[in-house]
Structure 1
C-alpha cells in the first residue's frame, strides 16, 4: 500500500492537471508560453514576500502573479511590445525575488523546493488550495469557453460579434496566475510552463476539436504525474522534474506515432 505522502502527492498532481489540461491548450493555441514563463518566474518574488510577511504561500504567490498579469496587460495596452514587456518583467521579477530571498532568514535553504518543486512535501492544507484553485480555473474557463474560443480563432470576427479579445486575454492571464500559484509547490517555478505546454502540445496532433485537445492534454498530464511519481519512487529521482520528463516522453512519442 502506498504511503500517505505518495497519495497526497498524486492527489496534488492530479488537481493541477485538472487545470493545466484546459488552460495549457489555450496557452498553445494563443502562443502564450513566454507569458507562462514570466508569471512563474515572478512567483519567486511572491514566495519571498509570503515568508517575509508571514502570509500563506499560495496567497503571496497568487498576489504577485496576478499583479504581473495586470502589469503586462497595462503596458501592452500602452503600445509596448509584448515580447519586450515579458522579457523585462520576467527577468526583473526573478532577480528581485532572488535578492529578496536573501533577506528572509531560513528561506535560502528551501529555495530549490520552490524552483523545482517538492510535491512529496504537500500536506492536506495544500490539497485544499490546489483543488480549490483548479476548480476556480476550470469554472472560469467553462464560463468563458465560447468567447475564449472565438477570440482565439479570429480576433476580428470576435470583435464583430461583440467580444472584447483584450478582456478574454486578461481572463486567460488571471487563470494562468492562479495555476502558477498552485503549481509552485508541485513542479516549481522553473517547470510550471512545461506542465502547461508539453501535454497540450502532445495532444494537439491527435485532436480535431478544442474539446478533444483538452481531454487528451488532461490524459497526458495524468499519465505524466502518475508515471513521474512512480519513476521518482523507483529510481530515487526528484519528483517534479520526473513528472516533466514523462510528459516530454509522451510528446516525443506523439511525434513518432502521429502522421498528418
Structure 2
C-alpha cells in the first residue's frame, strides 16, 4: 500500500519519538530547552569536523555535542557568566563555526538543508537500525537513572544527601542528549530536534498526573505527531520534518482547550 521508504520513515520516526518523549520530559522539568538548542546547533560543527577528518558523521556529532556539554559544566563552575549567557555563546558560536568550516571545504558537497531540517524519507535500513538500537540503549539508561534524575530535578541538595549523586546523573543525562541528537539529526534535522523534545513533553504535562505517566504519554504523543506529520506530508506534499513539528504543535494547541477544570502537573516536579 505504501512505498518502502515511507514505511521506513514511519518506523524510524516512531522509534525516535519513543526516545525523545521521556528525555524531553526531563528537559522540560529541568528548564533546559535552551540547552537542547545549544546541543542541536553544535551538531553542524560535528558534521563539518566529521567531513574534514573523514569520520562517521554520527560519531562526530556525538563527540562534539559531548564536548560542548562538558564545556558548559566547566564554565558553570567558574561562575563567570550566567547559564543562559553561556548557552547563547556556545549555541551561536558552534553553529557559525560549522558554517564557516564548511565554507572552507569547497571540495565537499553538503546538503545543508538536509542537515538543518532533516530528510526522514531518506532513512535507510542502517539508519533504522541505529535509531532503534540506540533508542533501546537510551531508554535503558533513562530507566536506570530515573530516580536520581527526578530527585535532582525536585531538590539537588536532598538528592545529594540521599547519596543519589545528582551531578553525575546530570552529566550522564547530557551525554544521552548528545547521543539522541546524533541519531536524530538525519531524521528531523538540527533545527527541529529540540521541537520534538519539547512540544510532546509540554503537551503531556497538561494531561498527566505523575512523572511516569507524563513520560509515557509524551512518547505516545510524539509517535502520534510523527504519523500525522508524515501522512500530512504525503497528502499535501509538504516537507516531512517540519510537518511532524506542525503536527506536534497542533496536539499541543488541542491540549490548551478548556476541557479540564484544572491543569494537572506531575506530582513532585516543580513548574
TM-score, normalised by the number of residues in structure 1: 0.96
Aligned partner of 1:124 in structure 2 is: 125
In 2: Cα distance, 1:259 partner to 1:194 partner: 28
- Mapped to 2, the partners of 1:116 and 1:199 lie a distance apart of 18
Q: How many residues align?
A: 260
Counterparts of 1:99-114 in structure 2 under 5 Å?
99-105=100-106, 109-114=110-115
Matches of 1:12 and 1:45, distance apart in 2: 24
Kindly state the Cα deviation for residue 207 of structure 1 after the two structures are TM-superposed.
0.9
Partner deviation per Cα, 1:213-256 (whole Å, 9 max, x = no partner)? 01110111010001100011111100000000000000000011
Q: Which runs of 5+ in 1 are unaligned?
A: none
- Contact conserved, 1:118 with 1:187, CA < 8 A, in 2? yes
Consecutive aligned runs of 4 or more in structure 1 exceeding 6 Å deviation: none
Aligned to 1:14: 14
Report the Cα offset of residue 103 of structure 1. Answer: 2.4
CA–CA distance in 1 between the matches of 2:204 and 2:78? 35
Q: Which residue of 1 aligns with 2:248?
A: 247
Following TM superposition, by how much is the alpha carbon of 1:109 offset from its aligned partner in structure 2, in angstroms?
A: 4.9
Q: Give, in angstroms, the shift of residue 150 of structure 1.
A: 0.8
Determine the C-alpha separation between the residues in 1 that align with 2:142 and 2:108: 35
CA–CA distance in structure 1, aligned partners of residues 235 and 165 of structure 2: 50
Larger displacement relative to structure 2 (249-258 or 190-199): 249-258
Secondary structure class of the residue paired with 2:35: helix
Distance in 2 (alpha carbons) for counterparts of 1:171 and 1:258: 37
How far, CA to CA, are the matches of 1:154 and 1:191 in structure 2?
A: 31
1:81-109 deviation line (CA, Å, top 9, x unaligned): 21111111111000000111112346565
In structure 2, distance between residues paired with 1:180 and 1:49: 16
Contact 1:206 1:258 in 2 (8 A): no
Instruction: Please state whether the residue corresponding to 2:54 is helix, strand or coil.
Output: coil
Task: Give the corresponding residue for 2:266.
Answer: none
| TM superposition score normalised by structure 2 | 0.92
Provide the rounded CA distance (Å) in 2 between the counterparts of 1:220 and 1:168: 26
- Partner residue in 2 for 1:34: 34
User: Residue 5 of structure 1 corresponds to which residue in structure 2?
Assistant: 5
Alpha-carbon distance between aligned partners in 2 of 1:3 and 1:106, rounded to the nearest angstrom: 34
RMSD between aligned alpha carbons? 1.3
Report deviation, 1:124: 1.0
Unaligned runs of 5+ in 2: 263-271
Task: Give the SS at the match of 2:256.
Answer: helix
Equivalent pair of 2:42/2:94 in contact (CA under 8 Å): yes
Match of 1:191 in 2: 192
Report what 2:208 is aligned to. 207
> Structure 2 CA distance, aligned partners of 1:90 and 1:258?
38
Q: Mean alpha-carbon deviation: is it higher for 28-37 or for 53-62?
A: 53-62
